[in-house]
Structure formats: structure tokens, C-alpha cells
Structure 1
Amino acid sequence: MLRLDAVTLKQLRALQAVAAHGTLTAAAAAMHQTTPAVHSQIRNLEIAVGHPVLARGADGGKMELTLPGHEMLRAAERIQAVLSHAGRQVAAIAAGRVGQVRLGFVSTAQYSVPRLLMQLMQACPEIEVSMIVGNRETIVEGLERGTMDLAVMGRPPRDPPLRALQVGPHPHGILLPAGHALAGAEGFDPELLVQETFLMREEGSGSRMLLQRFLDRLATARSPRLIELNSNEAIKQGVLCGLGIAMLSLHAAHDEVAAGRLVALRGPGLPVMRHWYVVIPAATPAPAAASRVAEAIVALNGAFLPDAAPEAAGQGG
């Protein structure tokens, strides 16, 4: 009776060795085993199969495979091929050449996501990268809970501990609607600027913190009116319709500035220059595939980022 659950790799390898070398003695020498040990493996294989797998040749010398023996040899070769492939895959996983990576993006970075994913597919074609977009709080929580392997974001948080690698510049500017009185001017009066209504993101947002620092540096006698909106898109639409002005990532507003629908304010301290980072949790070793993707992002040297808006280039102070 056929008992496939009793067939072992050792038995199949013994059969392969006898088929290749012709005798039990030669097979034993090739396998660095004793002849009785190889004979025992063949005998146990025949018991499991329920039929002889080897027969003495017509000349009484070399062993020949029986028909069941040929079938078991083909099975052994297929199994060996599958195991070899699995071994190569395991080695590739360990080296970070294949695998799955969960990559988070703060919502401001989402405008660069398609270009980055395309470039990662070229640089790491066998790594499957899944994208998760969220606000800063969501991304930080995902890194802390292990639901994300790494993330692209602005200023890295102090907690949880992260390894942060710079990947490119991140300019922020004050955005005005086309036709605004300050659009095209080479400078601005701080006292007039704070008379504007400023649209801003929720508490904890990087752009909101930059806006608050920028306004503090103006050291004016009054404070501007502030309106909170929950997305960059809502803020851009608010600026376009005249609801107010805003400090936003110039990468997030690249298309609107390039089309002339929004204008970046010129003047001292603008644009505010920050950096994009790829961050990796430091508490536990990163999966090899995640480290490979992080290295690939750094190697791109910001090539996936939009060019800084021409109206803002070369300014600052």
C-alpha cells in the first residue's frame, strides 16, 4: 500500500544518488555515507511506495530503476527544484531583494506618491510596496504600532524612536490667490500681512507649526484671524475662492502655482525651507525589504519631488 507520508527527502536523495552512480556503493561514496545506510534508505522508500524502486541490471552490475522507481525519481527532481527555488527566495528575502513593504505618506507628500512608486518599481521590481496616506498623527501611530514599515514625512517626531534619513528639500510658502494685492510684490509689510485671514491645518500639522513660527517672527502688534481646515485641498480651494491666504508646502501647491492660479508671496524668510525624510522605526530591526526600499528612496535624491515653484526659487533669508 502506498504511504506517501512515510517518504522522506533522505530516501529520495538516496534514490537520486543510486540512479546517478549506478550502485549502492558508489552512491554511498558520493553521499559520504555507508553502503548499509543507503541500502536502508532505499528499503524504507520501497516499503513506503509498496513496490521495488530498484532492480539488478541484466549484467548483474549496475542497479536500474523500475517503473515505480522512475516515477519516484521524477518526483524527487521536482521536489528538489521547488526546494532550490524556495531557497533562492528565502535568500532574496533575507537580502531585501523581494518582499512586501507598507510605506506611509503624510497627506502633504501624496502629490509625489505616483512618481515615487513608479521609480521604486524600477529600482526594486520584486518588492511589493503598498501605500498608506494619512495625516501626521495617523502615520506616527502606524509606525509606533507596526502597521507601517517606514514612512515619508516632514519633521520626524521624537517619539516613537525613529531613524530619519533626508530625501530632499521641502519648501513652504505663503500662498495668495492670483490678483491679490501682494501677488508679484518683492516684499510685504508685516502689519498689513497680519490683517489677512490665514487658513491652516489641524493642531499638530507641520504646516500649522511653521505658520505659527513665521507669524511669531513678524513680531506685530496684532494677530491674524485664523480658520482651520482639515486638508491641503480644502485650504487650496479656500485660497482660490478668496476665503483667506495660507502657508502650505510648495510641493502640495505646485500645479496651482505653475498654472498661475496661486501665487507664492515674496519677501524675507520665504520660502521656509524644510526637508522630507524617510523614517524607519528604531525600536526593532527593519525588515530587509523595508531597508532596501528606504535606501532606494534616499538614492533618488529627491528626484520624485516636484520642482520648487519658480516664484519662490532663490528667495529666503
Structure 2
Amino acid sequence: MRLDALTLKQLRALIAVADHRSLTAAAEALGQSVPAIHSQIKNLESAVGKALLARSVEGEGFSPTPEGEDILLAARRVEAVLSQAAARIRARTAGFQGQITLGTVSTAKYFAPRLVRMLRDRCPDIEIDLRVANREETLIGLQHGQFDLAIMGRPPRGELHGAIPLGPHPHGILLPPDHRLAEADGFDPSALISETFLTREAGSGTRILMERYLDRLSEGYPLTIKAMDSNETIKQAVIAGLGVAFLSLHTAVEELKSGRLKQLRGPGLPVMRHWYLIVPGDTPPSAAARRIAEEIEGLGGTFLPAVPVSA
């Protein structure tokens, strides 16, 4: 490999083709000609000494080869590092002493803005950029180096050593207030598993936890599960009587306080997990990231919502 022959233009061309699966679409996205994109990819492959893109089996579009995936991961990290450097320069220009990007899973959006407000009061010289995404996008952001810190409920295996527990994260089954199980102190598993369960997309942390919980109750009985695109949609659907939901109780504090939703009560509920702060371990954190991490840990979970206890 001739690493000194690599250029940012080549790496950006590779990212664009991988994202759009087409030379033409990549050229349009970058404002260049198709021959220019083709030339950049060929020069990059020549420098690496391996083919980086291959046509799909169906013959439509391009996909990265294994070597292409390696270079693509490096290219995305380069872009992320440059983007963070630019953000830090802008922050200093605006009078800040440091800047960090804090990534959170979407469930954390119910307390993340309050946390950022608390951090700004404690560290007014550090600019904090909050990014909210689903679990998959947050994991990709960590992998690509887009986040200085991240908050999630189930840390990836590769980041376990850098996972700092922040506080309890209760999950439960939410019911409309007039549901037949809403006032019960216990429940018959057969009555529960006959319900329609409204949940997030496959692969979300909450759905994985729900499936593990219900597997113990259903003993192979087929469940009716309907995926929805947001916690807000799920809550409104439960209130409307379209089903029940297994959700983080931190997403439903206001609805539980007002009585628009009820918690199912019974053995094993709520299901307790924890929130974690992830400090990526592949590169040393900046001084600003270390300081913010220490502040978050020092808050002792006081920024987490207080979940009302069902009467």
C-alpha cells in the first residue's frame, strides 16, 4: 500500500459511491463528473493495491469489497475527526475553550436536554453538541468516531471497559387506563401474551429487552407484535386502545403522572436496567471530553426522570 498516495478526494468519492451505490449518484452528490469519480476510485484502488468496489450480484449498483470496507471505515473516521476538529475551531472562535459531541439513543431524549443544560451551567466554557439517534445509528457513530461521549442503555461489547453506570433505567408494560389489567396487583401470563404488543423497530435496545421478557412468559406461544417508528407514536396508540407497550418508563413519565397511561403491576416488573456513559476507547478523549464525563458521572443520575409509582 502507498498510503502517501491517498487523498481526501479519493476517500470522499469512495464514501459517496458506497452510500449511493452508483457512480452517477455519487457524482451528483459531490458536484463532480462521473469520469472524475471513476478516476478517483481507480487511483485509490491503485494506491491500496486491491479492488475496493464490486458490482452487486444482481448487477445493479456497487458495494464495497472486504478491503473496501476497511478503507471505508477509515475514510468515515477521517471525515468524523476532521468534522470534530472544525467544530472545535468554531467553538474557540466563538469564545469557548473546548467542544464535545454527546450522542444519545432516542430514549434518552426525555432527559438529555436537561442534562446538557446542567452541564452548560457547570462548564460554560465548553460547547456541547447533542445528537439524538436510534441505537443502531448511535453505535455507528461510536464506530466512526463521530461522538466524544455517548449515553445508552446497553453498551456495545467493545466499549464495556469504558462504560460508566449513571443510574437505574426501569422498563415496564404500559396500558390504557381502562384496560382490564390496569388495576390488578398481579396478572395471568396467558392474559398478557394474548395482547397486541406495540414496539420499536427490530434491533432497538427496548425491543430486545421486551422479547427477552416475553419469551419467559410465552413459552413458545406466538405473540402479536406491531412495530412503530417512535416512542411517541407507541404511547398514543396505547392511549387509543390499539394495544399495550413495553417501553422505558423514562419515556412515559408525564403520561403516568396524568393517568393517561398505567403500569402493569406484578412479579418481575418493572424490569430494571441501567443507563451508561460510553467513553470511546479507541482514541484518548480530549480534555473537554474528560471534564464533561467527570461532570456527568458526578451528577449521580440526578438528571434522570422520577418515575411515578402506580397507585
After TM superposition, the score normalised by the length of structure 2 is 0.67
Partner of 2:304: 305
Partner of 2:292: 293
8 Å CA contact 1:144, 1:160 repeated in 2: no
The answer as to 2:127 corresponding to 1:124 is: no
Deviations 1:238-285 (A, max 9, x none): 111111101100001111111100001000110000000110111111
Unaligned runs of 5+ in 1: 1-92, 313-317
Partner of 1:150: 149
State the shift of 1:219 in Å. 4.1
Which structure 2 residues correspond to residues 185-196 of structure 1 after superposition, within 5 A? 185-196=184-195
8 Å CA contact 2:172, 2:248 repeated in 1: yes
Residue identity opposite 1:290 in structure 2: A
* C-alpha distance in structure 2 between counterparts of 1:193 and 1:151, whole Å: 35
* C-alpha distance in structure 1 between counterparts of 2:298 and 2:215, whole Å: 36
Partner of 1:205: 204
The answer as to 2:241 corresponding to 1:242 is: yes
State the shift of 1:226 in Å. 0.5
CA separation of 1:135/1:301 partners in 2, compared to 1, >3 Å: closer, same or farther? Answer: same
The answer as to 2:216 corresponding to 1:217 is: yes
Partner of 2:11: none
Partner of 1:86: none
RMSD over aligned CA atoms reads: 1.7
Partner of 1:104: 103
Partner of 2:228: 229
State the shift of 1:159 in Å. 3.7
Partner of 1:171: 170
The answer as to 2:282 corresponding to 1:283 is: yes
Which structure 2 residues correspond to residues 2-17 of structure 1 after superposition, within 5 A? none
8 Å CA contact 2:193, 2:218 repeated in 1: no
State the shift of 1:222 in Å. 2.0
Which secondary structure state, in structure 2, belongs to the residue aligned with residue 207 of structure 1?
Answer: helix
Which secondary structure state, in structure 2, belongs to the residue aligned with residue 269 of structure 1?
Answer: coil
Partner of 2:256: 257
Identity of aligned residues (%): 54
Residue identity opposite 1:99 in structure 2: G
* C-alpha distance in structure 1 between counterparts of 2:240 and 2:270, whole Å: 23
Deviations 1:214-248 (A, max 9, x none): 11111446232100112111111111111110110
State the shift of 1:160 in Å. 5.8
Deviations 1:58-78 (A, max 9, x none): xxxxxxxxxxxxxxxxxxxxx
Partner of 2:88: none
Larger radius of gyration: 1
Higher helix share: 2
* C-alpha distance in structure 2 between counterparts of 1:303 and 1:98, whole Å: 26
Which secondary structure state, in structure 2, belongs to the residue aligned with residue 281 of structure 1?
Answer: coil
CA separation of 1:160/1:169 partners in 2, compared to 1, >3 Å: closer, same or farther? Answer: closer
* C-alpha distance in structure 2 between counterparts of 1:272 and 1:248, whole Å: 10
* C-alpha distance in structure 2 between counterparts of 1:178 and 1:111, whole Å: 22
8 Å CA contact 1:162, 1:281 repeated in 2: no
* C-alpha distance in structure 1 between counterparts of 2:266 and 2:254, whole Å: 22
8 Å CA contact 1:177, 1:239 repeated in 2: yes
Which secondary structure state, in structure 1, belongs to the residue aligned with residue 251 of structure 2?
Answer: coil
Unaligned runs of 5+ in 2: 1-91
* C-alpha distance in structure 2 between counterparts of 1:297 and 1:194, whole Å: 39
Partner of 2:180: 181
Which structure 2 residues correspond to residues 12-31 of structure 1 after superposition, within 5 A? none
Deviations 1:124-160 (A, max 9, x none): 1111001000000111111111111111110101146
8 Å CA contact 1:165, 1:278 repeated in 2: yes
* C-alpha distance in structure 2 between counterparts of 1:309 and 1:210, whole Å: 21
After TM superposition, the score normalised by the length of structure 1 is 0.66
Residue identity opposite 1:265 in structure 2: L
